[in-house]
Structure 1
Amino acid sequence: MFDDRSPIYRQIADRIKADVLSGALQGDEQVMSTNQYAAFYRINPATAAKAFQQLVDEGVLYKKRGIGMFVSPAARDELRAQRRERFFADVVDPMVAEAKAIGIPLGDIVKRIDELERNA
């Protein structure tokens, strides 16, 4: 499950975010405890705790004292909004800048996207 491209705690956080985005984890659903997560994936509990704390800090998870960690009710919508913003900043904005630089009218881009959508 884990690779060497980024720290394990970040990979854990990204996996949980992906599960929230996909709907595999729903709002107010309890997630595994840090100890359960550590035992299941055979990692240091401190690593799992760091990932969970990051998700709490980002508002993806919340703690119920004495009970455990749960998915925030608005987490999916907030993660989608963040991904949309990143998509436009990382993909669309540079594409539009490149199109302008090489003289492609934006209408042609929209037309091409419409064609791709119809053929998908």
Structure 2
Amino acid sequence: MKSVLDSNRPIYIQIKETIEEDILNGRLLPDEQIPSNSQLVSHYNINPVTVLKGINLLVDEGIIYKKRGLGMYVSPDAPEKLKKRFSQAFFQEQIEPLTALAKPLGFSLQEIHEMIDSAWKGEKND
């Protein structure tokens, strides 16, 4: 769990995103229980309705499910669902704008690959 939430964004969205990040990063595994509503309320010192709103979004998306009387658990296919959604968003938000800018600048596909390889390795592009 994140230690602090951003005051400039809806808290329920940040609760949802925190759980999604924990699933994607393997901190929460399929069929593993997520932190309880009361744990999230206590940890972030927020209203229980706010937590419930974020949790319900995850339930609606099939990312988590409820075991009656036991709590909320990560759906078996949650990592794959999240990777697919984030991959699509990454393509639309990063790759398409990158190519739209690179083409008019005259970069070849090979040059773009080299720049990405360099950035991946943490090297500076001079």
Scaled by the length of structure 2, the TM-score of the pair is 0.85
2: distance between equivalents of 1:37 and 1:115?
40
Q: Does 1:35 align with 2:31?
A: no
State the Cα RMSD in Å. Answer: 1.8
Q: After superposition, what is the alpha-carbon deviation per residue over 1:53-88, rounded to whole angstroms, capped at 9, x for unaligned?
A: 011011111011222100111111211121111111
Q: Which amino acid aligns with 1:51?
A: G
Q: Does 1:6 align with 2:5?
A: no
Q: Does 1:91 align with 2:94?
A: yes
Give structure 1 stretches of 5+ with no counterpart: none
Q: Which amino acid aligns with 1:11?
A: Q
Out of 11, 18, 22, which is 2:21 matched to? 18
Q: Does 1:72 align with 2:79?
A: no
Which structure carries more helix by proportion?
Answer: 1
Give the CA deviation at 1:33: 2.1
Give the CA deviation at 1:117: 4.8
Give structure 2 stretches of 5+ with no counterpart: none
Q: 31-40 or 97-106: which moved more?
A: 31-40
Count of paired positions: 120
Out of 98, 106, 110, which is 2:109 matched to? 106
Q: 107-116 or 89-98: which moved more?
A: 107-116
Q: Which amino acid aligns with 2:9?
A: S
Scaled by the length of structure 1, the TM-score of the pair is 0.88
Runs of 4+ residues over 3 Å off in structure 1: 114-120
